Amino acid sequence: NPPGTDRCAPGGGPVSARTTLSVPEELRQVLTEPPPIPGSNPPVALQRGDLALSIPGSPAPIVLRGEAEVVLGRLAPGENSPTVDLAPHHAHLLGVSRRHALLRSAGGRYSLQDLGSSNGTWLNEQKLPPHTPYPLRDGDQIRLAQLVLYVHLPRGS
């Protein structure tokens, strides 16, 4: 919620306590950096069945090479690990759940589904209902809570 708000944005209930967290400088830069242009050249060479996820402010994309199922989330001690740990990208501060979303590949095409996350999953700024797969295209924007990722697929996918 923005500073000075007395109602919670999702449900409209009163904000009973205010907590201020300092935002690390590197995260502040990521949040204000302009996003990549959708459909721009992938950051790496991709083959059929590959997918790359770029995160604004991150030097290298996350490359998935022909994996059938990938869980996006953040590592928490003593729990099932996600396939892709987004903790290095400030996932905790940005509201990413431990097991937030699933990427599934079938026939060289990927889909995205929310795994019942606490703070939601968006595809091109459309909130996804939990446990329903949606196809991915090159240049799509995925938002896990407040963490933004861009999809890169091989040409012709």
* Per-residue model confidence as pLDDT tens digits over 48-102: 889 999 998 888 899 999 889 999 999 988 878 899 999 999 999 999 999 999 9
């963490």: which residue's tokens? 147
The residue written with tokens 């797969």 in the block is 133
pLDDT at 148 over 70: yes
- Output the pTM of the full model: 0.74
The answer to whether 81 and 75 have CB atoms below 8 angstroms apart is yes
Q: Which of 104, 146, 105, 150 is nearest to 124 (CA)?
A: 150
